[in-house]
Amino acid sequence: METTRTEITGESHVGIGVGRTHHEVVIIGGGTGGITVASQLLRAREGMDIAVIEPSTEHYYQPLWTLVGGGIYPKERSRRSEISVMPDGVEWIRERATHVDPDRQIVETGSGRKVGYDFLVVAPGLTIDWGGVKGLKETVGRNGVCSIYDYEQAEVVSQMLHEFEGGEAYFTSPATPIKCGGAPQKIMWLADDLWRRRKVRDRTEITFATAGTVIFGVPGFKEALEELVEEREIHTLFEHHLVEIRPEQREAVFAPLAPDGETEVRSYDLLHVTPPMKAPDFVSGSTLAHAEGESKGWMNVDIHTLQHPDYPNVFGVGDVAALPTAKTGAAVRKQAPVVAGNLLRVADGGTLGDDASRYDGYSSCPIVTGYGRLILAEFGYDNEPMPTFPFDQTKERRSMYILKKYGLPPLYWNLMLKGRA
């Protein structure tokens, strides 16, 4: 994987794996969080010595996968080459981080290379646990089982929704934290709308099967979505999570979460699965992670400064971090300046006192409720609503759909990843 050349693409100047053993800043992950933080650091401090460890040659704007699943965009619209988003001046180590030793300030990569750092930003996202549901790995993409939680699979979802001829349709949400908590139902609302247009809805029963106790946790949006559930005749199965798929029998097994609950075995014709998710192994197996409690395995950071409580030179951003808010790209947009600002403060010899940058838990979930309709849920810690617009955001609106479809992708590629938003 490693090369010793310097890649020059147009204006961009990115050194690939030129083999240095120490950097002022090492960022693990060149996804939404890693690239945004790198760009912001370089904007604040030109020439800063930053290495990004990222194995993938592709970068994905994952929020589009819901629209890909609905057949609104081809999947390719969500993908760009990693080199095209890597900020000028960083060294890209095209490898996977496999171990972090925060006491010795070293990251080890898949090839055994050891990279030292003064500051570490941990941004590897989360791991989709396809093996966490029995039968899922072998079945996804076939026999009516599909998922938008993967670049290739998202397109299969669209195919299955468009070819569906009616029957029992299930949309699941697991018992683990997930990225974009609204996505499991967004694809359901699109399916409902599509099947009404295709005139198969009257011979279809839709069930939203979730480990949660409610359809959405934020007051105001919860009630609005409950009304929609009623109006569009959606069945619900709360406090149950999918544990097994029996493809031959076309059966889905849901285990109860409540102690007095019962296992439900349901027949399906279409099963859209949101798989369980977990922190990457190299994080959960390290001293960077919470050792116990509800957040066990996820990266331990101060929920406001995003600094590790035991290692002041280590920061976390994005899905990997144990933060009591929704894991979204929108949250990353607010976290990145906090990480960059606080890292520079510490680099300049400061501590994170009252003048530290603070993250308020902001996250946003654009809940697509149909083709051309969307409820924009924005909230912070404690599910506190944090609306951007001066109108009732709990209502379905075309303008918010237009924002998601046409406004947010260029904002992401042209501003956020460049450290300008």
Residues annotated as part of the active site = 180, 365
78's tokens? 């969500």
Residue 367 makes contact with ligand FAD by CB under 6 A: no
332 binds ligand FAD (CB under 6 A): yes
Among 42, 48, 51, 53, binds ligand FAD (CB under 6 A): 53
Is 149 near ligand FAD (CB under 6 A)?
yes
Binding segment (CB under 6 A) for ligand FAD, from list 23-31, 43-51, 164-172, 370-378: 23-31
Q: What CA–CA distance (Å, rounded) separates 70 from 156?
A: 10
The closest of 353, 359, 285 to 317, measured between CA atoms, is: 359
Chain positions 183 to 222 lying near ligand FAD, rule: CB under 6 A, are 183
Stretch that binds ligand FAD, among 58-66, 286-294, 377-385, 389-397 (CB under 6 A): 58-66
For 22, 132, 153, 201, 262, the CA distances from 26, given in Å and listed in that order, are 9, 31, 32, 51, 48
Beta carbon nearer to ligand FAD, 25 or 253: 25
Residues 59-98 as x/- pattern, contact with ligand FAD by CB under 6 A = ---xx-xx-----------------------------xx-
Which bin fits 125, alpha (ψ -120 to 50), beta or left (φ > 0)? left
Whether the CB-CB separation of 210 and 236 falls below 8 Å is answered with yes
In this chain, which of 17, 39, 54, 204 binds ligand FAD, going by CB under 6 A? 54
Task: With CA atoms as reference, report the closest residue to 244 among 261, 263, 259.
Answer: 263
Q: Which of 282, 298, 315, 359 touches ligand FAD by CB under 6 A?
A: 282
Q: Quick check: 375 and 227 in contact, CB under 8 A?
A: no
Running DSSP on this structure, what letter comes out for residue 356?
A: S
The residue count for the chain: 421
Q: Which stretch binds ligand FAD (CB under 6 A): 9-17, 241-249, 326-334, 348-356?
A: 326-334
Residues 304-323 that bind ligand FAD (CB under 6 A): 318-320
**Is there a contact between 32 and 52 (Cβ–Cβ < 8 Å)?**
no
Instruction: Determine which residue in the list 41, 51, 314, 330 makes contact with ligand FAD, applying CB under 6 A.
Output: 330
- Cβ-contact 205, 306 below 8 angstroms: no
Contacting ligand FAD within 347-366 (CB under 6 A):
364, 366
Q: Which is nearer to ligand FAD, 148 or 344 (CB)?
A: 148
- The closest residue (CB) to ligand FAD is 31
Cβ proximity to ligand FAD, 243 vs 336, nearer residue: 336
**Which among 29, 9, 36, 13 has a CA at the least distance from the CA of 337?**
36
The residue whose two tokens read 């950097």 is: 23
Exactly one of 179, 241, 308, 397 binds ligand FAD (CB under 6 A); that residue is 179
User: Phi and psi of 78, rounded to 5°?
Assistant: -95, 0
Which part of the chain contacts ligand FAD (CB under 6 A), choosing from 22-30, 308-316, 370-378, 391-399? 22-30
DSSP 402: H
When computed from its CA atoms, the radius of gyration of the chain, rounded to whole angstroms, is 22
39 contacts ligand FAD (rule: CB under 6 A): no
CA distance 176 to 91: 34
Residues in a beta bridge with 113:
none
Interface with ligand FAD (CB under 6 A), residue from 23, 75, 327, 405: 327
* Contacts to ligand FAD by CB under 6 A: 28-34, 53-56, 62-63, 65-66, 96-97, 123-125, 148-149, 179-180, 183, 280, 282, 318-320, 327-330, 332, 364, 366
